[in-house]
Amino acid sequence: MEDLFKIHGIVNLKKGEGMWVYDNEIASTMGEIVDGGLVEVHDFDGYFMGIGYINRRSKITVRMMSRRTREIDRAFIEQRVRACVDYRKHTVDMSSCRLIFGEA
């Protein structure tokens, strides 16, 4: 389970590309990339842009999890889920709601 939080590689973006990383925006990859695993995302100059999980079978190849940290661990995931619950307690009817979905 702890291997879920291991960074397996680096994705380098083409110049001028954004944070939702589509397959055609990737200039190169390095490392032993595992679909479903975490990767660092760097811009075309090698600047660290964040951490995301990769799925090379999807048009949206990397979905960013954080732009600030280089470490994703249990505490990070727990904090994000707690924040989702706390937010929804104040904004929606909690008897029937989606706490987490892939695009948020």
Mean pLDDT of the chain: 84
pLDDT score for 82: 92
pLDDT score for 20: 75
pLDDT of 67 higher than 80: yes
Tell me: the pLDDT tens digits for 12-56? 888 765 557 899 999 999 999 999 999 999 988 888 999 998 999
Enter the pTM of the model: 0.73
Could you tell me what percent of the chain has a pLDDT over 90? Answer: 34
Mapping DSSP onto H, E and C, the string for 34-78 reads CCCCEEEEECCCCCEEEEEEECCCCCEEEEEEECCCCCCCHHHHH
pLDDT of 1 higher than 60: no
